[in-house]
Amino acid sequence: MPRPGGGPGPERRGGSGARHQAGSAVAEFIMVSALLTAVFLSVFQLALVLHVRNTLLDAAATGARHGTLADRSPADGAERARQLVTSALGPSFRCEVGHEATTIGGREGLRITVRTGFPLVGYLPVAGELGVQAEAVRYG
How far apart are the C-alpha atoms of 34 and 62, rounded to whole Å? 42
How far apart are the C-alpha atoms of 61 and 83, rounded to whole Å? 13
Residue in 78, 77, 95 with CA at minimum distance from that of residue 86: 95
* Model pLDDT, residue 54: 96
* Model pLDDT, residue 48: 86
* Model pLDDT, residue 117: 83
* Model pLDDT, residue 9: 56
* Model pLDDT, residue 125: 60
Query: CB of 127 within 8 A of CB of 52?
Result: no
* Model pLDDT, residue 121: 67
* Model pLDDT, residue 3: 59
* Model pLDDT, residue 124: 62
Q: Give the chain's length.
A: 140
* Model pLDDT, residue 76: 96
Q: So where are the chain's domains?
A: 30-137
- The residue ranges of the chain whose pLDDT is under 50 are none
CB atoms within 10 A of CB 34: 10
